[in-house]
């Protein structure tokens, strides 16, 4: 994997770049749709390519490990062949899912012991076997196994957790370096910076990660209960240390405003389930604000979903029609909303990139944040 830094924005830490993988290039800053089980919920692959214009999607190691399972994926030739997506894929390590299973997991020096949410069966993720699993999945970018503590964790817990994550990282990095991809193309391995909301721990973690010299680096353990301003502060602390010549991936964030603020602070890659999850529940993001499509006010509104002249997708459905679909519990409502929201997110980061390159990101960003945070 290669990363070329192409432009920086005066007055901010925002950057525009290009990541090159064996499955294609990724123009940064970029938003990555989440495809937990090998699919972005409710969205066809051709819609991801043509309507949403996704350049990379995510797969989830925990969920794919449980089903369809590694034998099926290996026999298919990896996730790209299994789901028919021919562009880059990133897989997380399963650490966040294990974190969310607090009542059915146990962390030890060996790894993360957990019970399946499907059938209660017992499993173990180690730093080594997670690398092996991600080799079988065949993602272009693999994440290291880490512990993701809650944003409210006290200092002592955060310090112990970080020490465990770093010991796991050393083992995972060793396994990554002594193994190769299974399908004839290269795979990158990103370590993850943890440390909750404690600047000294975040600095320690960022230096530990930077010293590895990996192809890219990730910032984890944010947007998990801490105040938003603390999240922004931690991004700034970490990005002062992470190397500028490698992509920086902020995991699991967030709202359109979060994304613009993260870009401002030097983040290149982001993902979140919000566009699809909120879309399925009737929330639409637009360049002029957020709409609840179940509101009565849209019942006879025959304007387009976003009449600002900004086109995210080719299909211009009216507000009244989409509200009708939601009220009628038609499945098409969730599909339209998911495609619309994802296309908006990709449009937004594309606009950020354009303004970084043109040199006016610093003045464009606050105006855009004011617009996207309105409630329509």
Query: How many CB atoms are located within 10 Å of the residue 106 CB?
Result: 11
Asked about 271 being catalytic, the answer comes back as yes
**C-alpha 259: how far from its chain's center?**
11
User: Of the listed 140, 264, 268, 271, which one is catalytic?
Assistant: 271
Give every CB contact of residue 156 below 8 A, 6+ residues apart in sequence: none
Q: What is the DSSP letter of 89?
A: E
User: Of the listed 51, 92, 140, 215, which one is catalytic?
Assistant: 92
Asked about 268 being catalytic, the answer comes back as no
- Edge-to-edge, what's the strand order for the sheet holding 248-250? 30-32, 269-271, 248-250, 217-219, 192-193
CA distance 7 to 54: 21
For the chain, the C-alpha Rg in angstroms (whole number) is 20
CA distance 312 to 33: 15
First to last CA, the chain: 42
Q: Could you give the residue numbers annotated as active site?
A: 92, 271
């Amino acid at each position: 994997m290669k990363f070329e830094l192409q432009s920086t924005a005066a007055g901010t830490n925002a950057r525009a770049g290009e990541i090159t993988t064996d499955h294609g290039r990724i123009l940064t800053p970029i938003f990555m749709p989440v495809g937990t089980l090998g699919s972005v919920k409710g969205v066809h692959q051709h819609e991801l390519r043509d309507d949403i214009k996704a350049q990379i999607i995510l797969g989830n190691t925990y969920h794919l490990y449980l089903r369809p399972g590694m034998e099926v994926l290996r026999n298919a030739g990896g996730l790209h062949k299994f789901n028919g997506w021919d562009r880059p894929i990133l897989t997380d390590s399963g650490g966040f899912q294990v974190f969310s299973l607090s009542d059915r997991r146990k962390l030890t020096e060996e790894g993360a012991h957990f019970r399946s949410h499907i059938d209660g069966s017992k499993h173990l993720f180690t730093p080594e076997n997670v690398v092996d699993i991600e080799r079988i999945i065949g993602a272009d970018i693999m994440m290291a196994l880490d512990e993701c503590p809650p944003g409210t964790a006290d200092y002592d817990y955060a310090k112990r957790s970080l020490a465990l994550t770093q010991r796991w990282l050393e083992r995972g990095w060793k396994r990554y370096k002594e193994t190769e991809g299974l399908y004839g193309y290269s795979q990158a391995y990103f370590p993850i910076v943890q440390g909750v909301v404690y600047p000294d721990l975040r600095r320690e973690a960022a230096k530990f990660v930077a010293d590895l010299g990996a192809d890219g680096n990730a910032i984890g353990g944010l947007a998990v209960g801490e105040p938003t301003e603390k999240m922004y502060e931690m991004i700034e602390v970490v990005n002062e240390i992470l190397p500028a010549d490698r992509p920086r991936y902020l995991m699991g964030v967030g709202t359109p405003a979060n994304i613009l603020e993260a870009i401002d602070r030097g983040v290149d890659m982001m993902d979140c389930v919000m566009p699809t999850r909120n879309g399925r529940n009737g929330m639409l993001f637009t360049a002029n604000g957020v709409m609840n499509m179940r509101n009565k006010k849209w019942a006879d509104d025959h304007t387009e979903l976003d009449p600002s002249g900004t086109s995210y997708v080719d299909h211009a459905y009216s507000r009244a029609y989409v509200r009708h679909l939601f009220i009628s519990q038609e499945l098409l409502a969730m599909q339209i909303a998911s495609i619309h929201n994802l296309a908006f997110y990709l449009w937004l980061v594309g606009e950020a990139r354009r303004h970084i390159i043109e040199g006016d990101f610093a003045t464009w960003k606050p105006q855009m944040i004011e617009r996207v945070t309105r409630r329509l």
